[in-house]
Structure 1
Amino acid sequence: MCGGVTYQQAEETIRTFFPNPKSCLPVRNKRGQVLLIPWGRREKQPGFTPLGGWARLESIYSGKWSNYNPRPVKIIIDGFMEKDQLGNSQWYSLGKDEFIQGLLVEDAGITRVYVVTVTDPQSQHKSARWPRILKHQEKTLTESSSTHSFE
């Protein structure tokens, strides 16, 4: 389910995990800059966005996120960690042309990013959720279908 990520920042390898309330994810903006955005929302953090760090693709399409000005973004990482059913950490690498789909939301003046997930048999997590991994030339959520926009 992507409980941790690893990425490069100024020639340093960063590992961050969702349970850390200061966790941020590297998101590429339309200008090509990579910005660090807070990862999801935890209990006791301000705002009204859903608790957690993940957004199910089907919940995005059903409109659950529409109150938060949702926008698809590219989370630029080298790899991610998910726990298997026994609670052991398993790390997975992304290819140079791959990224994880993110959902950027705004609430009470705070911008957050959630990892978009899909049901996938390769997930070893009890939830069977897997981050939505795309290639840079593939279409994102709003580009993929005119019937599934965020409006």
Structure 2
Amino acid sequence: MSWAVRYLHGQVERLSRFQHRSACLPVSARRGAQIVLMPWGRRPDEPGKLPKGGWAHLTHLQGGVWDQFGPKPVRLPVYEFAERDVTGREHWFMVTRGQFLQGCVATLERERRVYVVTLDCAPDVGEFERWPRLVIVPT
């Protein structure tokens, strides 16, 4: 289940795929804040104590499952993201101007990583198992 994003950082177009150890996401904590790159989740073979994976399900965040990691909501200013459907095919989707993927920064001791906040897909869609939470920021 691969995930990928495309974004601009310092006038350079970047492609980040979760399965790569060096995967980073652009993070903005608030409007007008400088964009920083942070490690995207934790792969199974990486050292650390934060959760494995690159996603935090919204209901788990709301239910307190992540509380021990002090999750902080952030915006992920990407212009395109990819998801694999249930057959394994990759699909790319544009992010509308004024929208951001929602992320959360998790911290434990000196370890800090960002995770994409996800929702379940509607049962009638069935093509994807999860979907990123998109947030609209008023201008």
TM-score, normalized by the shorter chain, greater than 0.5: yes
Q: Give the TM-score of the pair, scaled to structure 1.
A: 0.83
Give the match's secondary structure for 2:16: strand
Give the match for residue 127 of structure 2: 124
Structure 1 residue 4 displacement after superposition: 0.4
Distance in 2, matches of 1:28 and 1:81, equals 20
Structure 1 residue 92 displacement after superposition: 0.2
1:34 pairs with 2:40: no
- Structure 1: 4+ residue segments shifted above 2 A: 120-125
Give the match for residue 105 of structure 1: 106
> Is the contact made by 1:123 and 1:129 (CA closer than 8 Å) also made in structure 2?
no
Structure 1 residue 120 displacement after superposition: 2.2
Give the match for residue 86 of structure 1: 87
Q: List gaps (5 residues or longer) in structure 2.
A: none
* Length, aligned pairs only: 136
Give the match's secondary structure for 2:48: coil
Fraction of identical pairs, as percent: 34
Give the match for residue 5 of structure 2: 5
Q: List gaps (5 residues or longer) in structure 1.
A: 139-151
Give the match for residue 59 of structure 1: 60
Give the match for residue 23 of structure 2: 23
> Is the contact made by 1:123 and 1:130 (CA closer than 8 Å) also made in structure 2?
no
Distance in 2, matches of 1:46 and 1:103, equals 20
Distance in 1, matches of 2:11 and 2:34, equals 16
Q: Give the TM-score of the pair, scaled to structure 2.
A: 0.90
> Is the contact made by 2:41 and 2:53 (CA closer than 8 Å) also made in structure 1?
yes
> Is the contact made by 1:47 and 1:108 (CA closer than 8 Å) also made in structure 2?
no
- Deviations 1:85-108, CA, capped at 9 Å, x for gaps: 221110000011000110101123
- Deviations 1:115-134, CA, capped at 9 Å, x for gaps: 00011235732xx2100001
